[in-house]
A and B are shown apart, each in its own frame.
Chain A
């Protein structure tokens, strides 16, 4: 594994199941057993109804590009190198998350808001894999 130069997340007790699933290259989301709301980021209380009765559900890993930016003046030593794409993906299950779009030219002319995308995990340490997204077949 090449040395990862970017920030590496440190889980808390309430986010650890998410990162442990990611390490297995699975995208899991918290869902409220009281109101059914599926949300992101993981937390110990449902942001819709404040219930603490939550469960983890396996997500499809598919979604659409909700918005994006092509970063030219970026984070120092960021492993993707500039320019890179920061994206907000709307998952098929509803929640949105921040990610990178990879496997595509970092050029607005090659990207389209609404395009289908799918998750691809990148191992950045023995414990952590980051969910990035790439264009998917429609």
Chain B
């Protein structure tokens, strides 16, 4: 499958941030319109729609007046959109569809026209986790962070390094929401949300949309921009609820998805020029770096120390400013794809990573429950 499909269009919604005047579906439509324009394609060229988090994936298609022949609503959390690229690749290679629109719109902050929760009082989540006071994602991620610190000696300062480096990238991205400078001391002084995670260890909560257009390598060559070929993909799922996490200090799903993606691409971690690693919380990219083989298990904390992932550092990571400082709607994964494609095309201006040939996108779903990895390049 290596190089069989390419990402040919990427875009965010017109506006990002706090948008009480826009529904989640309006954000889908804006991003889709912009991504198709980026590709030089028309609405009627789309014959496949991929999205996550709706009641039915076809709701997004209906809103946009699309009548896809192939539809995929795979929902494995924030990494769904990265997994959708793999699914689109398989469908395109099988000849079932040709132009896949992967679309995301989420009114994460304003909650305009968002799908409701589906957990009944007899769900396992409400029987075996909620009675103990689980208050949204931070409590779950804190359980992993605490175990990682216990087993490996990872420190709060090392977690804070991720937030600080990511903010430096955000300062270079006009579309990032939070661009003021940040220090390790600021992170440690921010209020405790769920020990060991401070407020500034946690991602933003925003309203935004993002979309990606995928087509065959043949069709891609005739479109508006230089194709970004999909060289490797992998996905994995190990559990859903955090209490079912097999190992709280090691991210199994990320390791499995990464091994699959690197094997398909015929590449290894040392070949990667830029990394977009889902950063819902500062601990997440640290555990991803270990799981994907950029360092050994337990070495993620020392790896990010000394602002190694910041502009000018030897490991450029989350150059858009990440979920921590750019945008995080709730399901951030699509934004890793958008930034990776822009870096590979050389469109990133002040934050452009020089000689950027191989990018990795890595996403998180649920409570370290699922993961998806993608390797891409303008060269096959």
Contact = CB atoms under 8 A, between A and B. Distances in A.
Interface of A: 6-12, 15, 19, 40-41, 43, 66-75, 78, 80, 83-84, 86, 88, 96-100, 108, 113, 124, 130, 132
Contact of A86 (B122, B132, B196): B132
B126 interface: yes
Contacts of A100: 132-133
Contacts of B195: 69-72, 83, 108
Contacts of B193: 72-73
Contacts of B196: 69, 108
Contacts, number: 115
Interface residues of B, number: 35
A66 B135 contact: no
A69 B192 CA distance: 11
A10 B121 contact: yes
A132 B150 CA distance: 22
B135 A71 contact: yes
Interface of B: 120-122, 124, 126-135, 138-139, 142-147, 150, 191-197, 241-244, 248
A29 to B, nearest CB: 12
Given A41-B128, A96-B243, A86 B150 contact: no
A99 B132 CA distance: 6
Contacts of B124: 15, 41, 43
Given A67-B143, A67-B146, A97 B131 contact: no
A113 B150 contact: yes
B128 A7 contact: no
A115 B133 CA distance: 22
A43 B134 CA distance: 21
A68 B134 CA distance: 12
A44 B131 CA distance: 22
